[in-house]
């Protein structure tokens, strides 16, 4: 899982949407560090539905130690910029 963080760091056109891989799996903390730091503008939120319920995952995602301004970017701003909205 760490490999995609390296690829995203090196390639500006790669965005990360960790969805179910953030769910208490090894490497989860690397994703959080990257989201709060050098990849803050290239994380996109995804719920991984139907594998995980949308509300269940969103509620859990909100408990992660992600900085509030970064969380806003992950949940909306980064995707809006990516899609040109």
Mean pLDDT, to the nearest integer, of 58-72? 92
Task: Specify the number of domains making up the chain.
Answer: 1
Q: What is the mean pLDDT of residues 58-84?
A: 93
Q: Phi first, then psi: give them for residue 35, nearest 5 degrees.
A: -65, -40
- Above 90 in pLDDT, residue 72? yes
Residue 44 near residue 16 (C-beta atoms within 8 A): yes
Residue-level pLDDT at 21: 67
Q: What is the pTM of this model?
A: 0.85
pLDDT tens, position by position, 12-59: 999 998 777 667 777 788 999 999 999 999 999 988 888 888 898 889
- With residue 41 as reference, give the H or E element that holds it: none
Residue-range definition of the domain harbouring residue 25: 2-82
Pick from 6-10, 13-17, 54-58, 79-83: least confident: 54-58
């Amino acid at each position: 899982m760490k490999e995609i963080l390296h690829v995203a760091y090196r390639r500006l056109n790669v965005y990360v949407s960790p969805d179910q891989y953030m769910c208490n799996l090894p490497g989860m903390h690397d994703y959080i560090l990257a989201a709060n730091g050098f990849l803050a503008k290239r994380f996109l939120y995804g719920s991984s539905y139907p594998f995980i319920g949308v509300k269940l995952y969103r509620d859990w995602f909100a408990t992660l130690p992600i900085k509030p301004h970064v969380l806003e970017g992950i949940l909306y701003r980064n995707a809006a910029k990516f899609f040109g909205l």
